[in-house]
Amino acid sequence: MSKRAYNFCAGPAALPEAVLLRAQSELLDWQGKGLSVMEMSHRSDEFVSIAERAEQDLRDLLDIPSNYKVLFLQGGASQQFAQVALNLLPESGKADYVETGIWSKKAIEEASRFGNVNVAASAKPYDYFAIPGQNEWKLSKDAAYVHYVSNETIGGLEFDWIPETGDVPLVTDMSSNILSRAVDVSRFGMIYAGAQKNIGPSGIVVNIVREDLLGRARSICPTMLDYKVAADNGSMYNTPPTLAWYLSGLVFQWLKEQGGVEAIGRLNDLKQRTLYDFIDASGLYSNPVNKSNRSWMNVPFRLADDRLDKPFLAGADARGLLNLKGHRSVGGMRASIYNAVGIDAVNALVAYMAEFEKEHG
């Protein structure tokens, strides 16, 4: 086997090598049962134990209060954009949305198809380089919920605070920063997150939903998209994505072994400071985001001269530093440094960036 590369992909993203090794060793025969996890009935004792352990480990990691259900669903965050509205936005009601980048815009577009959406705040006046403070937000009095995206994967813009919405449930797309540091789940009505950044492979999405928000689905909501149906059936109204659920559970176990979200948060802080500090001190690289809104997980950066992009990427590839090309909608570079991307990867990246700057700067 060749050496494992340093993988800075924005998602599907790097997974812990220990998780892959464990999955590999069990792939044909889970714990001596003579079959793979993906060949088991989802209702078998074996799989139910895997599913329940995954949920409990996630509950432990995020200290999820007992009045929240944890769901393992399909369709990714994009399907949630509809699902949130179909479950929580009454036909004649209104919802507040905060627009901070491409993903929150998509959430707004989709919700608008099903009801009245008020854009309570937008980062557009700041060219999406800063998040407007809550004093600038225009929240509705009668909103069914307030929705925001806690980390914009493409723009590299992250909330370092939790909005205060009183009795109005706060709903957040936490796909690209869930489990990256401690968060107070009790502040939210619902958190959802596609797995393919900090949880597991693509094809599974985690919802953490406060119980009082269940049972509000509109009549036009497909049964499979009704959170209450999912909750009442332990996320097994039909066959769930068992392999992805199992792999997510292995990631949760790994994260506990790393010391949990507090410990990984300290490491993530070190990683992001290492990279941003280097960028800020350099003469070749730059990141335009307001310092307090910079994403810990997704670090977009530009080279002073676009013509250097190609040689930069080629040199990175040659050194096993993969997937640094920025999103096609914004260009430049992006280093995604999720939980499974270690400080060694960040150090290797910085070393290469320094070397490249010395040659081309």
Q: Catalytic positions, please?
A: 103, 173, 197
Cβ distance to a second copy smaller for residue 112 or 347? 112
Say if residue 239 carries a ligand binding annotation. Answer: yes
Count of other CB atoms within 10 angstroms of residue 212: 10
Cβ distance to a second copy smaller for residue 34 or 166? 34
Least distance in Å: CB of 55 to a second copy? 17
Given a contact cutoff of 8 angstroms between Cβ atoms, the answer to whether 112 and 99 are in contact is no
Q: CA-based angle 17:345:295, to the nearest 5?
A: 105
Query: 196: closest CA among 11, 42, 352?
Result: 11
Least distance in Å: CB of 60 to a second copy? 24
DSSP state of 179: T
Least distance in Å: CB of 78 to a second copy? 4
Least distance in Å: CB of 138 to a second copy? 27
Cβ distance to a second copy smaller for residue 189 or 240? 240
Say if residue 43 carries a ligand binding annotation. Answer: yes
Say if residue 103 carries a ligand binding annotation. Answer: yes
Cβ distance to a second copy smaller for residue 244 or 337? 244
* 316-329 as b/e: b if 16+ CB within 10 A: beebebebbbbbee
Amino acid in the structure at residue 46: E
Cβ distance to a second copy smaller for residue 126 or 237? 237
Least distance in Å: CB of 292 to a second copy? 29
Say if residue 78 carries a ligand binding annotation. Answer: yes
Say if residue 266 carries a ligand binding annotation. Answer: no
HSE-CB of 206 using CA atoms within 13 angstroms: 31
Interatomic CA distance for residues 162 and 147, integer angstroms: 12
Say if residue 238 carries a ligand binding annotation. Answer: yes
First to last CA, the chain: 36
Greatest alpha-carbon span in the chain: 63
Amino acid in the structure at residue 201: P
Amino acid in the structure at residue 350: V
Say if residue 153 carries a ligand binding annotation. Answer: yes
Count of other CB atoms within 10 angstroms of residue 295: 28
Which secondary-structure segment (H or E) carries 190?
Answer: strand 190-194
Structure-token pair, residue 186: 């009790």
DSSP state of 274: H
Least distance in Å: CB of 243 to a second copy? 4
Given a contact cutoff of 8 angstroms between Cβ atoms, the answer to whether 174 and 191 are in contact is yes
Least distance in Å: CB of 203 to a second copy? 3
* Residues of this chain that bind a second copy (CB under 8 A): 1-5, 7, 9-15, 17, 20-21, 23-24, 27-29, 32-36, 38-42, 44, 74-79, 81-83, 86, 110, 113-114, 194, 196, 201-204, 219-220, 222-225, 237-244, 247, 320, 322-323
Cβ distance to a second copy smaller for residue 245 or 276? 245
In what order do the strands lie in the sheet containing 116-122? 68-73, 205-210, 190-194, 170-173, 146-149, 94-99, 116-122
Say if residue 245 carries a ligand binding annotation. Answer: no
Cβ distance to a second copy smaller for residue 37 or 121? 37
For the chain, helix, strand, coil in percent to 5 are 40, 15, 40
CA pseudo-torsion sign 230, 40, 250, 243: negative
Binding residues: 43, 77-78, 103, 153, 173, 196, 238-239
Binding residues for L-glutamate: 43
Binding residues for pyridoxal 5'-phosphate: 77-78, 103, 153, 173, 196, 238-239
